[in-house]
Chains A and B, each alone.
Chain A
């Protein structure tokens, strides 16, 4: 149990376009979902925290108008990178906490974004 999926796994887009990444908890309901960014050979940087039905909480330095987060249900959160630029190219990873075990985050497989 505690499987988290992400779609797409890899996306290449042109500069100026928007890209949506989905994060789903497949076999559990998630009270809270998190979005991270990871640069090559580096640790994870928390971008934002989302709770179902409420606005996301963004970390300092993360542009909320650029990285739109929607948490429509207890099993789905989406991250939309708006007007993407090459510097947005990165590995984006989501995680989810189970209702029954809120201390543990379970991670998705990640989405590799390349903006040309």
Chain B
């Protein structure tokens, strides 16, 4: 079984401040980890993924995430948030031996000007 937890329903930050969206996961084997962003009435947009290699992965729009195996975490970060980053963010995990993707409940990010 696999699962994802996003402990925060909402994250509010001021523009220009660092943004962190938390994610922890549970899989029986080795994980593939993903972050997606969703704007209102739109599908999910791929941000970044961890497959193997460096624990720090860089993605689109200045986002990055760090894979921490011991803490089973994959937190999403951005050094300086923009108002346009306001959206719904989903963390997802997939066991390498499974085709199914499991999503967290989502975190709504609001960046105020």
Tell me the smallest distance from the CB of A112 to a CB of chain B, in Å: 7
Q: How many A-B residue pairs have CB under 8 A?
A: 48
A43 touches B106 (CB 8 A): yes
Which residues of the partner chain B approach A108 to less than 8 Å between Cβ atoms? 43
B99 touching A109, Cβ below 8 Å: no
Which A residues lie within 8 Å of B100 (CB)?
Answer: 46, 49
Q: B49 touching A107 by the CB < 8 A rule?
A: no
Cβ A46 vs Cβ B101 within 8 A: yes
Which residues of chain A are within 8 angstroms of B43 by Cβ–Cβ distance? 4, 6, 93, 107-110
CA A51 to CA B3, docked complex, whole Å: 24
How many Å lie between the Cα of A44 and that of B96 in the bound state?
Answer: 20
State how many residues of chain B have any CB contact under 8 Å with chain A: 21
Considering the complex, give the chain B residue whose CB is closest to the CB of A45.
Answer: B103
Task: Please state if A43 and B44 are interface contacts (CB–CB under 8 Å).
Answer: no
Contact with B along A104-115 (1 / 0, CB 8 A): 111111101000
Per the CB 8 Å criterion, the residue count for chain A at the interface is 23
- Expressed in whole angstroms, the minimum distance between the Cβ of B58 and any Cβ of chain A is 15
- Is A42 interfacial (CB 8 A cutoff)? yes
Cα distance A4–B105 in the bound complex, in angstroms: 23
Given A107-B43, A107-B45, A107-B46, A49 contacting B101 (CB threshold 8 A): no
Query: Would you give the shortest CB distance from B79 to chain A, in whole angstroms?
Result: 25
Judge whether B32 is part of the interface by a CB distance below 8 angstroms: yes
The chain A residues found within 8 Å of chain B, CB to CB, are: 2, 4, 6, 32, 34, 41-44, 46, 49, 91, 93, 95, 103-110, 112
* B interface residues with partner A (beta carbon < 8 Å): 32, 34, 36, 41-46, 49, 51, 90, 94, 96, 99-101, 103-106
